[in-house]
Amino acid sequence: MPREESNDPRVPGTLPPYLSVSQITTWLACPRKYRFRYVDKREPESRSGNLAFGSAVHSAIEWWHNERIAGRVPELANALRIFRADWTAQVTDPLLDLEERTPEELQAVGEALVTLFVERFANDPPPTVAEQRFEVVLRDPATGNLLPVPLVGVLDAVEDGLCWELKTAARKNHISDYSLQLAAYSYAVRETTGVRPRIRVVQLVKTKVPKIEVEETMLSDREEAWFAEVAAEVYDAITRGAFPPNPSWMCPRCEYRGACRGAMAMRAAA
Amino acid sequence: MSSAALTTKIPVKDRDGRVIDEKEVATYAGLLARAHEEGLRSVATKLVQVPSPDNGMTAIVEATVETSKGSFAGIGDANPDNVNRRVAAHLIRMAETRAKARALRDAVNIGVVALEELGGEEEDAVSNRAPARPAPGRAPLREVSRASDGNRPVDRRPPAPPARGEVFPRGQTAQAPAPPSARAPAREATEPAMTENQRRWLYRYLSDRGFEGQAATDALLAAAEVNDLRAVTKSLASQLIDAWKEDRDAGSGGGGHAS
C-alpha cells in the first residue's frame, strides 16, 4: 500500500535537514509561520519589501567586496548600478509589499546607503571572503549531546579574527537586538576556527537622511551557550510538531496571513 | 529572394543510434521563402486548444495561409510526448509552428513532411549539422513565428541579447499567436515561476548592457516574448540565461557583472 505523503514534521524525512538562524528566529516569532514556510513550503502571499530592499543593498555590497578581494578597485558608480539592477529585479515581483513607500523613493535611499558604505570602508583593507558559508555541529549545552542537524548559515564577510554583519533597518537598533544572531555567528566561527571572533555590525539606517552606524562586539561563552540552548529547544519543539500561531503586531504584514486565518477558521468550524 | 533551402536531409538512426539512412524534409524557412515567392498574402493562426492536464497538455493551433493561389489551412498539435524536451515548455509555440508548416506545405505544393512537424531529436540532428539554425537550447525562445504581414520574413533566430544602448521596443515582435490572456495562464498553471536568483541575473545582465529600470523590464519582456513578467517561467528564464551567457562568453557581452 503506498504511503501517503505527509507534511507532519514528526514523520521521518520531513524534519529540517539543518537549522539556520533564520529558521530559529522565524519559529520564535511565530511557530505557525515556521510551519507554513519550512514544513509545508507554502507559497507566500506577499514578500516583505524590507527584506527585498536589504537583499538588493547586500548584493551590491557583496559585489563591491568581491571586486576588492579580487584586487580590483571598483567604482562607486558600478556598485550603485548593481544595486539598481537588483532593486529593479526585486520590485518587479508582483508579490512585493513596499508598505506605502515607492520603489523610486527606496531606490534613492538604497543608493545613499551603498554610497555611505563604500565611502566609509573604501580605504580599509578588503575582507578575506564575502558571503562565507558555514556548517557546524550544534551541541545542547544542557545535556552535552549533539543535535542531529547542523547549524548552517552565511557570514556577510570575514577577515582575520573579524566577521561582518550587515543590517538595513528603519531605525538604529541596539546591538543587543541582534544578540541571538550574533551569538550564533560567534558560536559558528569559534566551532570552525577555535577562536572567538569580533563581530562588526554595520547598520545602514533608512532614515530620512540615511546613515551608517558601525559597532564591534565580542560575545561571551554564556551568550554562545544561550544561543545553543535556544536552538536545541526550538529543534525539540519542531520535532514535536509544536506550531501554534503567535498573534502579534507582525500579523498584518505576514506573508501567510490569509492561510493562517483560514486555518484557524477551519479549526474553529471543526 | 531568399536563399533558404527548401529541404534538408536528416539522418535516420537505428535503435542503437547508428545512422543507417537519410531522409529529406522541408524546412520552415524554405517553405516561407517559397511562399513569399509565390505571392504570400497572410498567415493567420488561431489557438484551438490551450494545453491543460485534462487534454494531456496538448496545444492545438490552426493556421491559415493565403497566397495568390488561394487559402490553405493546417492544424498543428504539440504535447510533451511529441516535442523535443527542450521545447516542452513552449507547447503553444510549437503547435503554431507545426500548423503553419503544414499550411505552407499545402500552399507551395510540397509533399514531404516539414522538419518542425517531427517529434524532436530530428531537429537536433539538423541543428548540429547546419550552423544557420539556432543553437540547441536557444531555438525555443524564438520558436513563435508571428503571423506574417505578407512582406516581413518571420524571425526564427534565437533571442539576440540587446546591444548596449539599443532601443528594444516592447511589442516589436508582438502579434501573439494567441491572446496573451490565453498564453500566460497556461504557463503559470503548469510551471514554476522565475526564481529570485534568475530574476537578479537577468536584470544584472541587462544593466551591463545599458538597460535599467523600465527599459530593462521591457527588454526582458521582448526577449522572452511575453507581455507580463509572471509569464516568465523558471525554464524560460533558464533558457534566456543560457543564451545570454553564451553571447557574453563569446565576447559580445557587457561588463560581466551578471554573475
How confident is the model over B74-133, as pLDDT tens digits? 888 887 777 765 565 677 778 888 888 888 888 888 877 887 777 654 544 444 333 223
For residue A267, count CB atoms less than 10 angstroms from its CB and return exposed for 0-12, middle for 13-18, buried for 19 or more.
Answer: exposed
So what's the pLDDT on residue B174?
26
* Residue B231 confidence (pLDDT) above 70: yes
Q: Residue B136 pLDDT > 90, yes or no?
A: no
Predicted local confidence at residue A163, as pLDDT: 96
Stronger pLDDT, A191 or B5, i.e. the higher one: A191
DSSP reduced 3-state for B91: helix
Q: Does residue B73 surpass a pLDDT of 90?
A: no
CB–CB contact B212 A63 (8 Å): no
State how far the Cα of B235 lies from the Cα of B193, in Å rounded to an integer: 8
Q: How high is the pLDDT of residue A6?
A: 55
* Burial class (CB within 10 angstroms; exposed 0-12, middle 13-18, buried 19+) of B256: exposed
C-alpha cell, A21 = 538562524
Which CATH architecture fits A21-239? Alpha-Beta Complex (3.90)
Task: Provide the residue ranges of all domains of chain A, joining segments of one domain with +.
Answer: 21-239
Q: How far is A87 from chain B (nearest CA, A)?
A: 9
Q: Tell me the torsion sign for CA atoms B246, B258, B218, B176.
A: positive
Q: Does B206 touch chain A (CB under 8 A)?
A: yes
Q: Which residue of A has its CA nearest to B202?
A: A89
- Min Cα–Cα distance to chain B from A106, Å: 13
Nearest CA-CA distance, residue B177 and chain A, Å: 26
By CB neighbour count within 10 A (0-12 exposed, 13-18 middle, 19+ buried), where does A171 fall? exposed
A188 close to A153: Cβ distance less than 8 angstroms:
yes
Nearest to B230 among A63, A82, A94 (CB): A94
Of residues B36, B43, B45, B47, the one with CA closest to residue B65: B43
User: What is the pLDDT at residue A217?
Assistant: 97
Separation of alpha carbons B212 and A84, rounded Å: 8
Q: Indicate the Cα dihedral angle A183, A187, A190, A192, nearest 10°.
A: -140
Distance of residue A140 Cα from the nearest chain B Cα, in angstroms: 35
Per-run averaged pLDDT (10 residues), chain A, 270 residues: 49 76 97 94 91 96 97 97 96 88 94 98 96 93 89 96 95 94 96 95 95 96 95 94 94 93 67
Q: What is the pLDDT of residue B97?
A: 84
Provide, as residue numbers in chain A, all residues whose Cβ is less than 8 Å from the Cβ of B202.
89
Q: Residue type at A7? A: N
Cell representation of residue B228: 507580463
Answer for the pair A68, A74: CB distance below 8 angstroms, yes or no.
yes
HSE of B218, CA atoms in CB hemisphere, 13 A: 14
* Cβ pair A85:B229 closer than 8 A: no
Chain A residue at shortest CA distance from B259 = A63
Closest Cα in chain A to B257: A82
Q: What is the pLDDT of residue B184?
A: 39
For residue range B26-69, what is the model confidence (pLDDT) as tens digits?
A: 887 788 888 888 888 888 888 877 776 566 677 788 888 888 88
Show which residues on chain A lie within 8 Å of chain B, measured between beta carbons. 55, 59, 63, 78, 81-82, 84-86, 88-90, 92-94
Residues in B touching A93 (Cβ below 8 Å): 196, 199
Q: What are B250's three cell numbers?
A: 563569446
Judged by DSSP in three states, B221 sits in helix
Of B212, B229, B255, the CB nearest to A92: B229
Residue A160 grid coordinates: 582575520
Q: How confident is the model over B182-228, as pLDDT tens digits?
A: 333 334 446 888 998 999 999 999 999 999 999 999 999 988 888 88
Nearest-angstrom CA–CA distance, A225 and A266: 40
CA distance A85 to A183: 33
DSSP for chain A, please give it: -PPPP---TTSTT-S-SSB-HHHHHHHHH-HHHHIIIIIS-PPPSSEEHHHHHHHHHHHHHHHHHHHHHTT----HHHHHHHHHHHHHHHHT-TTEE-TT--HHHHHHHHHHHHHHHHHHHTTSPPPSEEEEEEEE--B-TTT-PBPSS-EEEEEEEEETTEEEEEEEESSPPPGGGGHHHHHHHHHHHHHHHSSPPEEEEEEEE-SSS-EEEEEEE---HHHHHHHHHHHHHHHHHHHTT-------TTGGG-TTHHHHHHHHHHHHH-
Evaluate whether ipTM surpasses 0.90. no
pLDDT tens, A203-235? Answer: 999 998 999 999 999 999 999 999 999 999 999
pLDDT at position B102 is 87
